[in-house]
Amino acid sequence: MPRPRDLLVQAMVLGLVAWGLAALWTTAKVRMAAQGIPFSFAFLSQEAGFSLSEGITFAPGEGFRPYQPSDTYLQALLAGFLNTLKVTLLGLLGATLLGLLLALGRLSANPLARGLAFAYVEAVRNTPLLLQLFVWYFAILLKLPPWERGIAFAGAFLSQRGLLLPELALAPGAWGLVLAGVWAWAFRRRGLLARVGSLALFLASWALLGPPFAVRPAVPGPFGPLGGIFLSPEYAALLIGVTLYTSAFVAEVVRGAILAVPKGQWEAAYALGLSYPDTFRLVVLPQAVRIAVPPLANQYLNLAKNTSLGVAVGYPDLFSVYSTVANQSGRSLEAILLVMAVYLSLSLSISALVNGYNRRVALRWKL
C-alpha cells in the first residue's frame, strides 16, 4: 500500500499539471477571442479548396474515393491520415522482416554476410533520417528516366514519376484459402489431419475454381498509368526511408534478444539431436521474441511518428495536410489538437497490439 505522503506528493504533481494545462487553455482562448477568432471546430465542414497530389477520402453516399479540392477540411485531414496509415502499416511489416534478416546476418558465421550487415546497420543508424529521405528522393528517384523513356522490367514500369506495379486481385479460387483456414482451425489439435485436410481442400479448390489470386498487369499509357498499382516517388521515398531506417534499429533489438538466450538452450537442443535451423526456429527464436517485443514497440512507435517527415519530400501525409489547413483556415490550435489526437490514437493502437501480443507469448508461472 502506498504511504499517505506518497499519495499527497502525487496529488500535488497532478494538481500542478492540471493547473498548468488550464492556464494554457485559458490564455489561448483569451488571445483567440481578442483577435476575433472563437475556438470552434466548425471550420472542418468548410470547403478545403486545395488539391493533394494523392490520397483518398470518405464521402457520405459515395464511400471511399479520390480526394477532390471541393471536399471539406475534415475530408482533407482524413486523406492525410490514410496516407500516413498507408506508409505506417507497410513500413512496420517491411522493417520487421528486413530487421530480422539483418540480425541473422550480424550473427552469421560468414564474414562477408556479417560485415555487410554490420556496415548497413551502422551507416543507417548513424545518419539522420531526413538526410536519407533527401537522398532517396532528390538523388535517386528524381534522377530516373522520364515517363516517356521509363524502364519496363518483370511486369513493372519505373520512371521519374514513380513505380507502376502489377495489381494482385482476389479470384474465385480464394475460397480455397478460406476453407483451408477454417479446416486447419477446426482440427488444429489433430496435427496431421489438420495439415493434410487443409492442403487437400486448397488443391481441390485450385483445380475447380482456379488460383486464389489474379495478376492484373501494369499498363503504362502515353500520359500516365492506365492499369496497375502506381507508387509516386514521394510515397516511395518516404516508405523506403522509414523502412530502412527502422530496420537497422529492429536488427539490433532482435540481435540482442537472440544473444540474451542462455547458451545452455543451444547446447540442450543439440544434445537432443536438433539441427541448427531447428534449434533456432523451435528453441531460440520463441524465447528471443519474448525478450524483443517490448523494445520493438518503441521502434514501431518511432516509425509511425517519423512518417511526419514526409512533408520534406512533398508527400501529403497528415502533418503536411495539417500545415495547409492551418495556414489557409487560420485555425492552427484546433487543427493541431486534432492532429495530436490522431497521432496519439495511432501510437496507442500500436502499443495496445504489441502489448497484447507480448502478454500472449509471455511465460506464465503457476505457484
Q: What per-residue confidence (pLDDT) applies to 275?
A: 86
Sorting pLDDT into bands at 50, 70 and 90, what band is 200? Answer: confident
Report the first-to-last Cα separation within the chain, whole angstroms: 23
Give per-residue pLDDT as tens, 288-327.
888 899 899 999 999 999 999 999 999 999 999 999 998 8
**Of the listed ranges 36-50, 106-120, 284-298, the one predicted with least confidence:** 36-50
- Rounded to 10 deg, the angle between the 285-306 and 233-260 helix axes is 150
3-class state of residue 146 by DSSP: coil
| C-alpha to C-alpha distances, 209 to 131, 168, 189, nearest whole angstrom | 50, 17, 29
pLDDT higher than 90, residue 367:
no
Among 284, 279, 282, 278, which Cα is nearest to 260's? 284
> Would you place residue 257 in the very low, low, confident or very high pLDDT band (cuts 50, 70, 90)?
very high
Q: Which CATH architecture has domain 56-146+239-361?
A: Orthogonal Bundle (1.10)
Question: Mean pLDDT across the stretch 116-129?
Answer: 94
Q: What is the arithmetic mean of pLDDT over 268-277?
A: 87
Residue with the larger pLDDT of the pair 41 and 84: 84
The confidence score (pLDDT) of residue 193 equals 74
- Grid coordinates of 248: 537497422
Q: How confident is the model at residue 365 (pLDDT cuts 50, 70, 90)?
A: low
**Predicted pLDDT of residue 364:** 64
pLDDT higher than 90, residue 128:
yes
Helix/strand number for the chain, H first, E second:
12, 10
Domain ranges within the chain, ordered by starting residue: 56-146+239-361, 168-213
Who's near 192: CB < 8 A, 6+ residues apart?
Answer: none
Mean pLDDT score, 229-256: 93
What would the pLDDT profile of 68-114 be if each residue is shown by its tens digit? 999 999 999 999 999 999 999 999 999 999 999 999 999 988 999 99
What is the pLDDT confidence band of residue 138, given thresholds at 50, 70 and 90?
very high
Look at 196 and 345; give whichever has higher pLDDT.
Answer: 345
